[in-house]
């Protein structure tokens, strides 16, 4: 059995999701278990693929990332969800925390912080700062 962290990428922008997948696949500690393009697909894939960590865009079609997180955590409490957004307004962070997400990553700086955020989340460490 693998000790790699099982990661699901959720973003409705295919070019962003594909680039992030290619970037993360080079890390031998991670296993990308799928890419979802909307909130409903994210919940289904996270549960069926036993994702440890979900990188969840908050602005998704059908159901947004906040509602998808609430639904996912109702089905799979062990999953850790990291909010991903191009926006950094305090309301986004507050909504992410209220939905049960463990931290927030800005799309602008994701390549610099994503591996660290995944490692922290998979070890049960929330990344919210005061």
In-domain check, residue 97? yes
* pLDDT more than 70, % of the chain: 96
pTM of the full structure: 0.94
**Does position 130 have pLDDT exceeding 50, yes or no?**
no
CB 49 within 8 A of CB 8: yes
Predicted confidence (pLDDT) per residue in 5-56, tens digit = 999 999 999 999 999 999 999 999 999 999 999 999 999 999 999 999 999 9
Pairing of β 30-36 and β 5-10: parallel
Phi, psi (degrees; rounded to nearest 5) at 80: -115, 125
Number of domains in the chain: 1
In-domain check, residue 17? yes
Q: Which domain holds residue 65?
A: 5-122
In-domain check, residue 130? no
In-domain check, residue 86? yes
In-domain check, residue 89? yes
**Does position 87 have pLDDT exceeding 90, yes or no?**
no
CATH number of the domain encompassing residue 25: 3.40.50.2300
**Does position 90 have pLDDT exceeding 90, yes or no?**
no
């Amino acid at each position: 059995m693998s000790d790699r962290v099982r990661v699901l990428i959720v973003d409705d922008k295919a070019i962003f999701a594909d680039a992030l997948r290619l970037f993360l696949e080079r890390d031998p500690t991670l296993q990308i278990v799928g890419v979802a393009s909307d909130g409903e697909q994210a919940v289904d894939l996270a549960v069926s693929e036993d994702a440890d960590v979900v990188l969840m865009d908050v602005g998704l079609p059908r159901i947004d990332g906040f509602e998808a997180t609430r639904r996912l955590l109702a089905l799979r409490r062990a999953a850790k969800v990291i909010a991903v957004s191009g926006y950094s307004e305090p309301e986004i962070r507050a909504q992410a925390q209220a939905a049960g997400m463990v931290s927030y990553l800005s799309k602008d700086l994701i390549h610099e912080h994503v591996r660290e955020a995944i490692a922290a989340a998979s070890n049960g460490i929330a990344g919210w700062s005061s």
